[in-house]
Amino acid sequence: MSAIIESFNPILLFAGTVILSGLIMSGILIRKRLEASNTHLHDVQAALDESSIVAITDPKGIITYVNDKFVEISKYEEYELLGKNHNILNSGYHPPEFFHQLWKTIGSGEIWKGEIRNKAKDGSYYWVETIIVPFLNKKNKPYQYVSIRTDISALKTAEANLNNSLKEVNDIKFALDQSSIIAFTDEKGIITNVNERFCEISQYSREELIGQNHSLLNSNLHSKEFFKNLWKTIGSGEVWKGEIRNKAKDGSYYWVHTTIVPFMNANEKPYQYLAIRNDITERKKTEEVLHRQDKLAAVGQLAAGVAHEIRNPLTTMKGYTEYLQLDETNEERQEFLSIILDEIDRVNNIVEDFMVLAKPKAVELEERDIIPIIKNVISFLEFEARKREVKIRFEYEGDIIQIECDENRLKQVFLNFIKNGIEAMPDGGDITVRASIVNNQVQIAIQDTGVGIPQEKLKNIGEPFFTTKKNGNGLGLMVSFKIIESHNGKVFIESELNKGTTFNIVLPAKTA
């Protein structure tokens, strides 16, 4: 569409200018020559008849002469025109002031020029570029008018079409601008223009973006192959479509569905690219959560059944072992019994975790302030954290953050997340817990500066028994997700390798 405009506009302008200046020139020339000598009139008329639509009227506008072109375009016969007022051709398009002005001009001896829409005999319309030259008598009063016209109907149609397509282009541009994230880059991927939404989502200003390579937003998720393939596609002039994760200025990620359209030059080489993107971050997050919930539901039921069966024999085993320990004097045997008890404890912990899965919705919700709950968990872990040179900070907004929750289970969640954070930092580091209320939702972020989670492992997070630790059981996260879910909340994970991991918990706030 833009190609049409670019090629049409100058042509139209040029054509219009040529016609107009041609007419003015010929008008002036004619008058001078005619005034100089009436004997040339016939020569001039002959020349004009060939090129233009010519008519002569008397001072009142009564037609006294028409040439063949006039007859042809007006579709009247010559005899139907002679003796008639020129307004026989009036199409009703122009207001009375228009003709008033025209008559005022030529009546005072001035040349009038303009564009007029006339009506032919069959009712069809035609546009003529018109010059009317008054011929003056000795008293400087016009005794006749010569009008020279050129058919510009085609020009007018083209102009109207052009205006329509221009408007269409503007409408499309507006709609696109409102709905999408837009960027133009040159053939090397250097950003040449972006719209407001691009700045909003990327958190960069226009000034920061223009002139930069688009890879500024690369989030290191997609492989080299991925981008190679993208460039191969658009470089050969094909449209590329796909989903990309980008990194905003503050380091957070956003997902965009992306369409890249190459603009080709005359040599079939792209000279710029238009990228149209739409934010799909929410959808991506939902996909992740759904993926996890599918697995949870299936395993949850199985786990619930198994846990019940194990709990009772486990209690019996523990009881008998403790009993044996009472009378045992042999030190070595005493130690073995301790090991057995430790192991029973370990199994018991697993079973306890499974029991949570057994009754996912049967939590007892009570109104609580989560600030002291989190403080309590942190102080519980303080000793272990200090041992591992981990500093735990707690930042929160407001005095209380009220929530409907099962306090003990929520404690278990915070414990799991913070413990995982400590364990992810073998050389020490920082854990920051942030709590705030945003849009009626309680947001709790648990951020560590640890090893991070590799992209390909993210999908395993929350799967039962997925662990990368020697002594891990791979149940902590699964249970935590389940608990949050039973509180009508969600968990989002952000992680960057060797930078750290953030678990974001979102829970409905209890409004007063």
The footprint of ligand ADP (CB under 6 A) covers: 416, 420-421, 424, 448, 450-451, 453, 461, 466-469, 472-478, 501
Q: How far is the CB of 352 from ligand ADP (least distance, A)?
A: 14
The listed partner (Mg ion, ligand ADP, none) that binds 451, CB under 5 to 8 Å by sort, is ligand ADP
Q: How far is the CB of 479 from ligand ADP (least distance, A)?
A: 8
The listed partner (ligand ADP, Mg ion, none) that binds 421, CB under 5 to 8 Å by sort, is ligand ADP
Q: Which is nearer to ligand ADP, 203 or 467 (CB)?
A: 467
Q: Which of 476, 479, 490, 494 binds Mg ion (CB under 5 A)?
A: 476
Name the β-bridge partners of 130: 114, 149
The listed partner (Mg ion, ligand ADP, none) that binds 194, CB under 5 to 8 Å by sort, is none
Instruction: For residues 419 and 428, give the distance between their C-alpha atoms in angstroms, rounded to a whole number.
Output: 13
Written as six digits, the tokens of 263 are: 């603009």
Burial letters 112-124, b for 16+ CB under 10 A, else e: bbebbbbbeeeee
Q: How far is the CB of 465 from ligand ADP (least distance, A)?
A: 9
- Cβ 169 vs Cβ 190: under 8 Å: no
Burial letters 196-206, b for 16+ CB under 10 A, else e: ebbbebbebee
Q: Which is nearer to ligand ADP, 52 or 416 (CB)?
A: 416
Q: Does 486 bind Mg ion (CB under 5 A)?
A: no
Name the β-bridge partners of 507: 442
CA dihedral 317, 482, 502, 423 (to 10 degrees): 0
Q: Which is nearer to ligand ADP, 472 or 508 (CB)?
A: 472
The listed partner (Mg ion, ligand ADP, none) that binds 501, CB under 5 to 8 Å by sort, is ligand ADP
What is the CA 31 to chain-centroid distance, rounded?
62
| φ/ψ (deg, to 5) at 185 | -130, 160
- SS3 sequence, 330-343? CHHHHHHHHHHHHH
Q: Which is nearer to Mg ion, 242 or 474 (CB)?
A: 474
Q: How far is the CB of 416 from ligand ADP (least distance, A)?
A: 6
Q: How far is the CB of 379 from ligand ADP (least distance, A)?
A: 20
Q: Greatest CA span in the chain, whole angstroms?
A: 148
Q: Which is nearer to ligand ADP, 93 or 465 (CB)?
A: 465
Q: Does 420 bind Mg ion (CB under 5 A)?
A: yes
Q: Which stretch binds Mg ion (CB under 5 A): 32-40, 398-406, 415-423, 482-490?
A: 415-423
Q: Which is nearer to Mg ion, 27 or 476 (CB)?
A: 476
Q: How far is the CB of 335 from ligand ADP (least distance, A)?
A: 26
Q: How far is the CB of 309 from Mg ion (least distance, A)?
A: 24
- CA-to-CA separations, 477 to 243, 281, 365, 464, in angstroms, rounded: 28, 23, 21, 8
- Cβ 263 vs Cβ 272: under 8 Å: yes
Instruction: For residues 341 and 75, give the distance between their C-alpha atoms in angstroms, rounded to a whole number.
Output: 113
Q: How far is the CB of 480 from Mg ion (least distance, A)?
A: 9
Q: Which is nearer to ligand ADP, 262 or 476 (CB)?
A: 476
User: Any idea what the Cα angle at residue 243 is, between residues 238 and 249, rounded to 5°?
Assistant: 115
Alpha helices in 203-280 (DSSP H): 206-209, 224-235
Q: Which stretch binds Mg ion (CB under 5 A): 205-213, 328-336, 358-366, 414-422?
A: 414-422
The listed partner (ligand ADP, Mg ion, none) that binds 410, CB under 5 to 8 Å by sort, is none
Q: Which is nearer to ligand ADP, 51 or 468 (CB)?
A: 468
Q: How far is the CB of 419 from Mg ion (least distance, A)?
A: 6
Q: Which is nearer to ligand ADP, 270 or 450 (CB)?
A: 450
The listed partner (Mg ion, ligand ADP, none) that binds 351, CB under 5 to 8 Å by sort, is none
- Cβ 344 vs Cβ 318: under 8 Å: yes
Instruction: For residues 489 and 444, give the distance between their C-alpha atoms in angstroms, rounded to a whole number.
Output: 11
Which parts of this chain interact with Mg ion (CB under 5 A)? 420, 476
